[in-house]
Amino acid sequence: MSANDAVIEVRDVFKVFVAQGDAQQRRAFLALHDVNLAIGRGRFISLVGPSGCGKSTVLNMIAGLVRPTEGEVRYGGTAVSGVNTDIGYITQDDNLLPWRTLRENVEVALEFRGVPAGQRREQATRYIAMVGLNGFEHHYPHELSGGMRKRTALVRTLIYEPSVVLMDEPFGPLDAQTRVILQDELLRLWTGTGKTIVFVTHDLVEAIALSDEIVLFSRAPGTIKRRYEVPLPRPRDVFHIHADPRFPEFYDRLWNDLREEIGVVQLEAS
């Protein structure tokens, strides 16, 4: 892929963080080391790697919430400076506003964007129906199950039609069944939209089931170790992804590469 059709480009990025605390405790550590990554428009990319390898930091940089210490992140051809409101960001916590009902949560981004009330309502109704939550519009987040809250977080992001959606372990806290169901719903919602998705996960099966391409990060300081094209055709059946004959071999390759990174960490710890 040439750099021209990339919607996101991470170029020669280093990131140093400083631990908060007393002046003496302010130790700096290197989170990212020379990361280069170009992400093509309309692609579904997963970032995998050991905990603390800086995957989430890369997402935060694309969102403009964190700046690189050196290097640059480009979005749509220009360097990201300040919060990038052209993207959608779905985190591990659903981050719904607890004082707003489901419908009011789904409408909030449109409110920020000055969409008139009638149009907001109409769009919210459509999006809520897409994930089968009609009938729950007037419930507050604490009255919804984890899966329902996650669906709400999904549509309240999709409703303003961001061309790129960043997802940071979005299905992490869910139970195994709800997780697969939501993976399936995500693929359904994404297919045909042309949106780019950058998805962070620890779950290799999830990464394989959903993505076009998987990017493997090394242990901290994070750097990109390898990139893989997922050899499975679309449309995919996430419920039976294991049954595909190409799955086991690809999974093993991925797992062996990842294990090297985790293995070294364990050795150092003991």
74 binds another protein (CB under 8 A): no
At 64, phi and psi to the nearest 5?
A: 80, 15
Tell me how far CA of residue 205 lies from CA of 9, 83, 195, 210, 255, in angstroms: 26, 32, 22, 9, 10
Question: 76-79: which pairs have CB atoms within 8 A and are 24 or more residues apart?
Answer: 76/7
Total residues in contact with another protein, by rule CB under 8 A: 35
Question: Element (H or E) spanning 35, and its range?
Answer: strand 28-40
Considering only residues 125 to 184 of the shown chain, the ones binding another protein according to CB under 8 A are: 132, 135-136, 139-140, 142-145, 147-148, 157, 160
- Closest listed residue to residue 91, CA positions, set 40, 181, 156: 156
DSSP-derived pairing of the beta strands 6-18 and 28-40: antiparallel
In the bound complex, what is the minimum distance in angstroms from residue 212's beta carbon to another protein?
24
- DSSP state letter for 222: B
Specify the residue, 43 or 151, whose C-beta has the smaller distance to another protein: 151
Specify the residue, 87 or 207, whose C-beta has the smaller distance to another protein: 87
In the bound complex, what is the minimum distance in angstroms from residue 99's beta carbon to another protein?
4
Specify the residue, 162 or 221, whose C-beta has the smaller distance to another protein: 162
In the bound complex, what is the minimum distance in angstroms from residue 65's beta carbon to another protein?
6
Binding site for another protein (CB under 8 A): 63-65, 83-85, 87-89, 91, 93, 95, 97-101, 108-109, 111-113, 132, 135-136, 139-140, 142-145, 147-148, 157, 160
